[in-house]
Amino acid sequence: MKLIFERSVPGRRGIVFPDAPSFADVPLDIPETYVRKVPPELPEVSELEVVRHYTALSQRNFGVDTGFYPLGSCTMKYNPRILEVVASLEGFRDLHPYAPEEFVQGALAVLAGLERNLREILGMDAVSLLPAAGSHGELLGLMLVRAYFAERGERRDVVLVPDSAHGTNPASAAMAGFRAVTLPSNHRGRLDLPALRRALAEHEGRVAALMLTNPNTLGLFEDQILEIAARVHEAGALLYMDGANLNALLGVARPGDMGFDIVHVNVHKTLGTPHGGGGPGAGPVGVKAFLADYLPVPRVARVGERFTLVEEAPKSVGRIRSFAGSFGVLVKAYAYLLLHGPEGLRRVAERAVLNANYLFALLKDTFVAPYPGPVMHEFVLSGKNVKAETGVRTLDVAKRLLDYGFHPPTIYFPLIVEEALMIEPTETETKETLDAFAAALRAIVEEARQDPERVRSAPHTTPVGRLDDVKAARRPVLRYRAPQRVQ
């Protein structure tokens, strides 16, 4: 496919601007250094060529709208189109962030309703809708931890993080001024309780929090969570839940009831906004009552029959986001909750877990299952058996999946599983899709036995073949450079 610059023909136009008056006599207060000497090298194409170019480009995209996207730990599920319609209503779409409160009572009612629903779903006492992403929510959560201990006069500088955690967890801890200490997982893929006890003893009086994902990134429920919470609280520390995997718990179990003090939820992937593409997202944070005063401002409050945004909060960590957060994403999340209702949300979680266990059962004998099921919303397999038998790596299997019309799952994460494939089917996929995906993986493993080079050199049917991943990541070409003209 040609670049739009390669379609360019000198003199061709998509639009012709009306004649403008000469600016020759208008004084321009622009330093000579910054005044362009030659016209920019823009593509010269007709309107039809522009339409065809970008339409063709869009058809080369792969997304949930075009195929199965089993990206483990990222909940790439279909989001109902009605949510986009709701968020696009002019009463929401055209709001100005500086509009007086009396003009935006409906919008504030939406935010208050979403807060109320999230408090119930999470089992928390207060919620901030301000964080712009899950990782932003993590940072806020740890800022709350820091503010809490600062007021108590305790100098705690350690945050415990399991080795199966998302990479953002230790990064957020470091950004918030803590030192991350890694805890190992046990032979069952869960947090190792004896290791937790040893860490709490070794860092006695210095552990501020344990950051735990539940279900964890292996797709396993931390079934000793009540014991974990008791040990953490006994040590005077707080328990933080990374809520990236909340899709498995909706309407079934609540972090607050498990003993968590703080939790963030990625509403942009759990509650109805397409995930990926750089945002916008939203990562609301819920807390128990004793942490509520530290939440950032502004906060939505109801005074009599009206809603208002409260800016004054003496103990607050302050402002972390412009205005009232990613409003459009929050509208979609609220619409998603109203669309499903309590029973519908429970069915979302139940079907996500059912789909994951069905696919796990289809594939656990093709690859190595490092931990036995049942799993929650996702599962992790190891391709070490395929590599040992054929020399074909998990990376090669993932590339070959593209030829079969599927987006690859997450690979090589979590790091504690050799040759990992991390698969999350979500609740929105059909049995036929899951059967086809399992059949494709089995066919690829058989290919690896019969013709390993065929798999190692994949993909073969995509617009671009096997890339140099390291070069693409470290030396990306993001800007078109016209070839040198021959004089």
- Residue-wise pLDDT tens digits, 28-38: 788 888 888 88
3-class DSSP assignment, residue 220: coil
Domain range holding 284? 82-340
- Global pTM reads 0.91
**CATH number for 362:** 3.90.1150.10
Which residues contact residue 472 at a Cβ distance below 8 angstroms, ignoring those fewer than 6 apart? none
- Domain count across the chain: 3
Q: Say which residue the tokens 């019969």 belong to.
A: 450
Residue 485 has a pLDDT of 61
Mean pLDDT calculated for residue range 243-251: 96
Burial class (CB in 10 A: 0-12, 13-18, 19+), 384: middle
Is residue 152 one of the residues assigned to a domain?
yes
For residues 265 and 254, what is the distance between their CA atoms, to the nearest angstrom? Answer: 12
Amino acid at the residue 234: E
Does 171 lie in the same domain as 41?
no
Q: Is the pLDDT of residue 487 over 60?
A: no
* Same domain as 433, residue 376: yes
Is the per-residue pLDDT at 118 higher than 90?
yes
Give the tens place of pLDDT for each residue, 135-147: 999 999 999 999 9
CATH number at residue 254: 3.40.640.10
Q: How far apart are CA 191 and CA 454, in angstroms?
A: 40
> pLDDT tens-digit profile of 171-217?
999 999 999 999 999 999 999 999 999 999 999 999 999 999 999 99
Is residue 30 located within the same domain as residue 95?
no
pLDDT recorded at residue 22? 67
pLDDT of residue 104: 96
Using DSSP, state whether 209 is helix, strand or coil: strand
SS3 254: coil
pLDDT of residue 24: 66
- Domain boundary residue, one of 323, 340, 357: 340
Closest CA to 196 of 217, 176, 210: 210
pLDDT-derived band of residue 274, with 50, 70 and 90 as boundaries? confident
Give the mean model confidence (pLDDT) for residues 219-231. Answer: 98
Q: What is the pLDDT of residue 258?
A: 98
309 and 197 in a single domain? The answer is: yes
Domain boundary among 340, 366, 396: 340
In a domain, 64, yes or no: no
- Between 24 and 188, name the one with better pLDDT: 188
Q: What is the mean pLDDT of the chain?
A: 94
Band (278; pLDDT cuts 50, 70, 90): low
Q: What is the mean pLDDT of residues 398-422?
A: 96
- What is the three-class DSSP state of 394? helix
431 and 296 within one domain: no
- Please report, rounded to a whole number, the percentage of residues in the chain having pLDDT higher than 70: 97
| Closest CA relative to residue 86, chosen from 413, 305, 328, 383 | 328
Q: Does the residue 360 lie in any domain?
A: yes
Kindly report the backbone phi and psi dihedral angles of residue 380, in degrees, each rounded to the nearest multiple of 5, phi listed first: -125, 130
pLDDT tens across 333-388, in order?
999 999 999 999 999 999 999 999 999 999 999 999 999 989 999 999 999 999 99
Distance of CA 336 to the CA centre of its chain: 17
Does one domain contain both 304 and 230?
A: yes
DSSP-derived secondary structure for 447-465: HHHH-HHHHHT---SSSS-
- In angstroms, rounded to a whole number, what is the distance separating the alpha carbons of residues 161 and 217? 13
Segment (H or E) for 384 = helix 384-390
Predicted local confidence at residue 39, as pLDDT: 83
The vertex-255 CA angle with 253 and 261, nearest 5°, equals 165
Same domain, 335 and 359: no
pLDDT of residue 480: 82
Tell me if 317 is assigned to some domain.
yes
Asked if 332 and 355 sit in the same domain, the reply is no
Residue 312 token pair: 């004054």
Q: How are strands ordered across the β-sheet holding 379-382?
A: 379-382, 420-423, 410-411
CB pairs under 8 A, 24+ apart, for 179-184?
183/210
Q: Which of these, 487, 164, 176, 184, lies nearest to 317 by C-alpha position?
A: 176
Judgement on whether residues 364 and 267 belong to the same structural domain of the protein: no
Mean pLDDT of 219-233: 98
- Determine, yes or no, domain membership for 487: no
Residues 45 and 124 in one domain: no
- Domain check: are 377 and 313 in the same one? no
pLDDT of residue 17: 79
Q: Is the pLDDT of residue 244 over 60?
A: yes
- Cα separation of 197 and 326, whole Å? 40
The identity of residue 408, as a single letter, is P
- The pLDDT of 311-332, averaged and rounded, is 95
Res. 158: pLDDT tops 90: yes
259 alpha-carbon distance from chain centroid = 24
* pLDDT score for 277: 65
The tokens describing 451, both together, are 């013709």
- Specify if 68 maps to a domain: no
Residues 234 and 290 in one domain: yes
Residue 71 belongs to some domain of the structure: no
Establish if 332 belongs to a structural domain.
yes
pLDDT digits (tens, 9 = 90+) for 77-108: 999 999 999 999 999 999 999 999 999 999 99
